[in-house]
Amino acid sequence: TDAVVAVLMLLAFVHFSSEVNKWNISHVVTQRSGVIAVLKGDAYGHGAEQVAHHLVNCRAVDRIAMATVGEALQLRRSGIKCPIHVLGNLQSWEMQTCVLNGLIPTVSSKETIDGMGQVLKNLKPKQRVVDSNSKYANAPPGAIHIKVDTGMGRNGCLPQQLPGLVQACESNAVPLEGIFTHICFHEDEEYSRHQLELYDQLIAPYKDRNIFFHSSCSGPILLDMGTNYDFIRPGVAIYGMPPIAQIDEFEAQGYRPALTIKGTPTLVKCHPKGSKVGYACTYECQEDEEWIAAFPLGFGDGFWRALGHERGCIIRDKTGERCPVVGRVSMDAITVRLPCQPDENETFTIITADFDPVTSVTGIADAMGTISNEVLIRFAPRLPRVFR
């Protein structure tokens, strides 16, 4: 067995499905909208294939969204049959791949729609037919979603360009399946409301068409904003991670991180006083007998190098004691000072599935001056995942 594993409990999203309140995604989902689960970045570091199959198998989601065509293809090849969106801007060399694999690209310019029209025209008759088991049933080959920029200033066409893009779909016979926007959510709810109002105005002329509308990621969803459209697009909240600053409120609603990292030491030694530990000998044992354990994960696995020198600690499961990471963090290992000799196969928690200020993903994100997403995405694929 592996000495360090990332354990993922049932995803928070599914786990807390019975609660009904404004913070609860599942409530919003079951009442009104379909779900496009955002699993880009290897499902925010959790393991996209396993998470995708889990969510699809338990019918928690209708569709999946990835950032790139490459990521989306990987899911297709793993046997995921539901519609898969690609959220990044479509490039000309990716068009055919999208069409042939039932991937739904994001389009933000007229040139791209013209290019897509050309690709569709050049398809061989056989390629025009959707697979007989209707695996991408909800989306015809070549279906696109137009993204409109309502105030984030990143991807998406400018508001005034939207009518021209819709028109370009018609003239190029490109199936327009949806028009969406992205809310650059932060604590200023007013700005999000303003974005949603603009989106509503922009899509008004197309509301009676048979196309999908969607706007909201985790933050707005938890505030029940933009949840009245056809789909919602939760990402980080699926994994029980707060998209908002008020972690207390998030936790009070029953959300817990899905991921925990557990491990057993691969080697434990008792060092005499004065022994050096780690690269550059930055730690020196102070006691006559110090128990130093090596765990097989380091910055190459997403354990932050800055958490060496006792800035980070891990938890001894048996007693709850906090054990400091001493010396430098190596690429593939950390060294930890234990209070005594551990039992054989004793387990330790390296990342806790809570909001602890030191040992949790949110705590580490805070200490590193970043957001949970960046901490999560660094957990390397080589860390074995166990799904419970």
Three-state secondary structure call for residue 322: strand
Measured from the CB of residue 217, what is the shortest distance to ligand PLP in angstroms? 3
Shortest distance, CB of residue 23 to ligand PLP, whole angstroms?
A: 14
- Residue 37 found at the interface with ligand PLP (CB under 6 A): no
Of 233 and 316, nearer to ligand PLP (C-beta) is 233
Closest distance to ligand PLP from the beta carbon of 80 (Å) = 18
Options 96-104, 114-122, 211-219, 314-322: segment touching ligand PLP (CB under 6 A): 211-219
3-state class of 311 per DSSP?
coil
Return the residues of window 328-367 that contact ligand PLP according to CB under 6 A: none
Residue 376 engages ligand PLP in binding (rule: CB under 6 A): no
Min separation Cβ 44 and ligand PLP, Å: 7
Copy the structure tokens of residue 71. 């990521």
Q: Quote the least distance from Cβ 182 to ligand PLP, whole Å.
A: 4
Report residue 172 as tokens: 């190029």
Residues 243-282 that bind ligand PLP (CB under 6 A): 243
* Residue 178 interacts with ligand PLP (CB under 6 A): yes or no: no
Nearer to ligand PLP, 219 or 265 (CB): 219
Put residue 47 in one of left, alpha, beta given phi > 0 → left and psi -120 to 50 → alpha. left
Residue from 38, 116, 225, 313 that binds ligand PLP (CB under 6 A)? 38
Strands (E) in the chain, as ranges, are 4-8, 34-38, 63-66, 84-89, 103-107, 144-147, 176-180, 212-214, 231-232, 259-263, 267-272, 276-277, 283-284, 289-295, 313-316, 322-326, 334-338, 348-351, 385-387
Among residues 235, 263, 265, 298, which is the contact residue for ligand PLP, using CB under 6 A? 235
Contact status: 157 vs ligand PLP (CB under 6 A): no
Beta bridge partners of 178: 145, 212
The Cα 33–Cα 26 span in angstroms is 10
- Which of 239, 291 has the CB closer to ligand PLP? 239
Candidates 236, 261, 325, 361: give the one binding ligand PLP (CB under 6 A): 236
Closest CB to ligand PLP among 330 and 362? 362
Amino acid in the structure at residue 241: M
CA dist., res. 80 & res. 101, Å (int)? 11
**Binds ligand PLP (CB under 6 A): choice among 24, 192, 195, 218:** 218
Minimum CB–partner distance for residue 363 and ligand PLP (Å): 19
Q: How far is the CB of 290 from ligand PLP (least distance, A)?
A: 42
**Amino acid letter for position 27:** H
Q: Does 182 bind ligand PLP (CB under 6 A)?
A: yes
As a whole number of angstroms, the distance between CA 198 and CA 149 comes to: 10
220: contact with ligand PLP by CB under 6 A = no
12 binds ligand PLP (CB under 6 A): no
Structure token digits, residue 52: 């995708």
In which residue are the tokens 């105030």 written?
151
Q: How big is the CA angle at 118 (ends 117 and 124), to the nearest 5 degrees?
A: 105
Site stretch for ligand PLP (CB under 6 A), options 49-57, 235-243, 301-309, 338-346: 235-243
Minimum Å distance from CB 87 to ligand PLP? 5
Interface segment toward ligand PLP; rule CB under 6 A; list 16-24, 193-201, 215-223, 278-286: 215-223
Q: Closer to ligand PLP by CB, 218 or 362: give it.
A: 218
Interface positions, 67-126, toward ligand PLP (CB under 6 A): 87
Tokens for 5?
């594993």
State both tokens at 204: 């008004």
Cβ–Cβ under 8 Å, residues 140 and 177: yes
Helix orientation angle between 69-77 and 48-57, rounded to the nearest 10 degrees: 60
Residue nearest to ligand PLP according to CB distances in the complex = 235
Question: Closest distance between ligand PLP and the C-beta of residue 129, in Å?
Answer: 30
Tell me the C-alpha distance between 3 and 264, whole Å: 5
Residue 217 interacts with ligand PLP (CB under 6 A): yes or no: yes
339 within 8 A of 261, measured Cβ to Cβ: no
| Residue 191 burial (C-beta neighbours within 10 Å; 0-12, 13-18, 19+) | middle
User: Which residues contact ligand PLP (rule: CB under 6 A)?
Assistant: 38, 87, 182, 217-219, 233-237, 243
